[in-house]
Amino acid sequence: MKIGFIGLGIMGTPMALHLANAGHQLFVHTRSQVPEAIQAAGATRCDNAAAVAREAEVVFTMVPDTPDVEAVLFGENGVAKGLSKGKIVVDMSSISPMATKAFAKTIKELGCDYVDAPVSGGEVGAKAASLTIMCGGEEAVFERVRPLLELMGKNITLVGGVGDGQTTKVANQIIVALNIAAVSEALVFASKAGADPAKVRQALMGGFAASRILEVHGERMIKRTFNPGFRIKLHQKDLNLALQGAKELGVGLPQTANAAQLMQACAANGMGDLDHSALVKALELMANHEVAKG
């Protein structure tokens, strides 16, 4: 197929590569320079999003936030300017569910289809094509793009209508943030009490407290490897979506609010571009103690 891909960052680049390596013809656009790996895969660089949409049958977007998706879709030389009837837009960004529904309505009015398909799994999952992909849209449209999604992920679920994929991603980010906060508190406590945090983590991995966060991010906290797989400032954005949605729904999310404040403390201290496992640093500041020395 002729596939468009807009947004070639930490996640988008490996995702697009999987499509190209499967033999699909790729048309790409990104704010920065097109990565060498994408060029080497034979992708065609387009000057703007409209040009991508003119060439492609299915257009994927993978950009940071709701305003970015809106600009890519409906800005000057946006995707909407290049669409023709029957094409499909698949937004894999993590954005507002309500905005997603509005975007989909406009795309539908152009005679095209829309699927929201945010992902979880970070850079590791993107590179390994093992992402969890949470989809919202019409079932028939989802089935048309499923073979493409299967090139990028393993756990692919059509949750419901447009916007439900984004709602699921927000729920995912709540769980991940609270788990990171829990592991952070546990390791700060154990380390300050004088126990070896590496051995504490090893012991906990064999019990009911075991989790993917303890396994991966607990190791990051101990080894002090906070190079970004998923940046704090992006997780902040997702938690803000959760809190905004909670306000609209009349739902209390006290633990989510607490995790958001810990991330805000990190960002205020210049750590917004670190991996979200660096949330532990906010607790370390309060404890005047680091889990481990780098």
Catalytic residues: 169
| Position 237, amino acid | K
Both structure tokens of 214: 């303890």
3-class SS at 239?
A: helix
d(CA 56, CA 47): 14
* Integer angstrom CA distances of residue 157 from 38, 45, 59, 132, 166: 27, 31, 19, 8, 12
Three-state SS at 273: coil
Residue 210 CA to residue 3 CA, distance in Å, equals 40
CA diameter of the chain: 65
Answer positive or negative: Cα dihedral of 51, 52, 56, 58.
Answer: negative
How far apart are the C-alpha atoms of 254 and 147, rounded to whole Å? Answer: 39
Burial 256-277 (b: 16+ CB within 10 A, else e): beebbebbbbbbeeebbebbbb
Residues forming a β-bridge with 135: 158
Where do runs of H (alpha helix) occur along 110-163? 122-128, 139-149
Q: How far apart are the first and last CA of the chain?
A: 47
Within the chain, strands assigned E span 2-6, 25-29, 44-45, 58-61, 88-91, 113-116, 119-120, 131-136, 153-160
